[in-house]
Amino acid sequence: MAQQNSASRLAGIDPRGPRFAAGITAALVLLGTFLALLGPAVRTGTTLTERITDPGFLVLLLVDLLFVWGFASPRTAPWGALFRAAVRPRLAPPSELEDPRPPRFAQIVGFVVVTIGIVLHLVGVPWALPIAGAAAFVAAFLNAAFAFCLGCQLYVLLLRAGLIRTRGGALVGV
């Protein structure tokens, strides 16, 4: 049964699902970035309390947690579940399926980018949060609007370079 579950995961996913999730992610990241630009994230000399209560920080922290959910448990992640329950039944079947590993890796990349911004923001580095948010927005927007997934492209490059190996659908040696 474990082989069957692994095989079904590798069989492919509807490529419109990650694009749908990327659209919602792009909107949330844009909101977080905008709020970060208005708050203490762009000023020097702010207190830790001001940085933690910054609305931009809180929104981007939520996005970061959603990234974790997206790569740790993609079947239960909210945007994928919403797509499968409410959107996909209204669409024609996809013309082709996509390997689930590159989009999962893209979630990891998004998590790393936003986490770097969050950590630097918490230690008081001005502009770190909105810059990280802007980078995450660009990646999510490219995926949502043009089906160009930067994290997926990075996955393929690292796979070809031998820096990523796969075993049973899981990423190994990242």
Q: Where are the domains of the chain?
A: 13-89+96-172
The tokens for 95 are 């013309």
pTM (whole model) above 0.85: yes
**Percent of the chain whose pLDDT exceeds 70:** 90
For residues 121-129, give the mean pLDDT. 96
pLDDT digits (tens, 9 = 90+) for 80-113: 999 999 999 999 999 999 999 999 999 999 999 9
2 and 167 in contact (C-beta within 8 Å)? no
How far apart CA 95 and CA 92 sit, in angstroms, is 9
pLDDT digits (tens, 9 = 90+) for 139-157: 999 999 999 999 999 999 9
Q: Is the pLDDT of residue 136 over 70?
A: yes
Q: Is the pLDDT of residue 11 over 90?
A: no
Worst-scoring range by mean pLDDT, 8-22, 28-42, 141-155?
Answer: 8-22
How far apart CA 81 and CA 71 sit, in angstroms, is 14
The tokens for 43 are 């000023």
In degrees and rounded to multiples of 5, residue 68 shows phi and psi of -60, -45
